[in-house]
Chains A and B, each alone.
Chain A
Amino acid sequence: MLLSIAASAQTPMDDFFYSSGKIYVVIAVLVIIFLGLAFYLFRLDRKITKLEKKNEA
């Protein structure tokens, strides 16, 4: 079943992520985790900015 899915990989993106022993999958996972953390920091930053504005008013 898994093999047949791998064999049916056709898009250029599939070809890319199946290549080089799938190391690109690991890199993509790390990038996703880091982007998530960065997004969280941006949200926190915005919330603190709002509080600061409220405090000044």
Chain B
Amino acid sequence: MRKYWWKIAAVVFIIYAIIGGFLMPAPDNLGIIQKSIRNLHFHVPMWFTMIIMLFTSYIYGIMFLSKSEMKYDSLASSFVKAGMLFGLMGLATGSFWARFTWGTWWVEDAKLNGAAIGIMIYMAYYILRNSIEDDVKRGKFTAVYNLFAFPIFIVLIIVYPRMAETSLHPASGDTVGFSDLDLDNNLRKVFYIATLGWILLGTWIATLKYRVTELTRKDEEI
């Protein structure tokens, strides 16, 4: 019997975040943001989940290189897929939020462009995967690609935006992060649980994808 408790926890945490995101007190009068500050509980966990998914994939890539077991390759690719799902949702929600705070769907900003290029790096991961027929070769090539992709990705979405001179996006360039706005810690009460919930849900989706990949692979071997 597989253990379901953490999957139930994922659902409970996210439901808490949906209810709390609307009803808990928040700094609702911040400049152009106003009540959309509550998007913090939904937009930001997408990115955190993506980073955790891609980091997990990075670790499984290294494990595949050292142990050469196909299951690690399946795990690595499944976690990238789940990561991309969350990354695209992060881009979509961010773009929509930008339209009604900054007035446009996209701005030439270190944080936004860095994230877009970062996503493209992992799109290329899939192009690479699909272009190699042999299982073992595909595993090794993509694991090595992953080895370089993840650090560059982190630089693009976190380090480079922070080093930028100016930015509109919070916590990059000359802007402050939400922790400086959350003076009475009301946002944290929802945000941390929301993030944990979405990371668990992402892991769940990734492991489902992994299990299907493994079943397909074993089916093809027979």
**A residues at B contact (CB < 8 Å):** 23, 26-27, 30-31, 34-35, 38, 41-42, 44-45, 48-49, 51-52, 55
Contacts and interface: CB of A to CB of B under 8 A. Distances in A.
A51 B217 CA distance: 13
Given A27-B23, A42-B7, A48-B211, 16 more contacts: A23-B22, A26-B22, A30-B18, A31-B15, A34-B14, A35-B11, A38-B11, A41-B7, A41-B204, A44-B208, A45-B4, A45-B204, A45-B208, A49-B2, A52-B211, A55-B219
Contacts of A27: 18-19, 22-23
Contacts of A51: 215
Contact of B7 (A23, A26, A35, A45): A45
B172 to A, nearest CB: 29
Contacts of B4: 42, 45
B164 interface: no
Nearest to B205: A41
**Which secondary structure dominates chain B's binding surface?**
helix
A35 B211 contact: no
B132 interface: no
B67 to A, nearest CB: 22
B212 interface: yes
A27 B22 CA distance: 7
Contacts of A38: 10-11
Nearest to B210: A48
B10 to A, nearest CB: 8
Contact of B19 (A31, A41, A42): A31
Interface in B11-32: 11, 14-15, 18-19, 22-23
A54 to B, nearest CB: 9
Nearest to A39: B11
B59 to A, nearest CB: 23
Nearest to A41: B204
Contacts of A30: 18
Contacts of B19: 27, 31
Closest 7 CB pairs of A and B: A38-B11, A48-B211, A30-B18, A27-B22, A31-B15, A27-B19, A51-B215
Nearest to B212: A48
A45 B204 CA distance: 9
B45 to A, nearest CB: 13
A35 B211 CA distance: 23
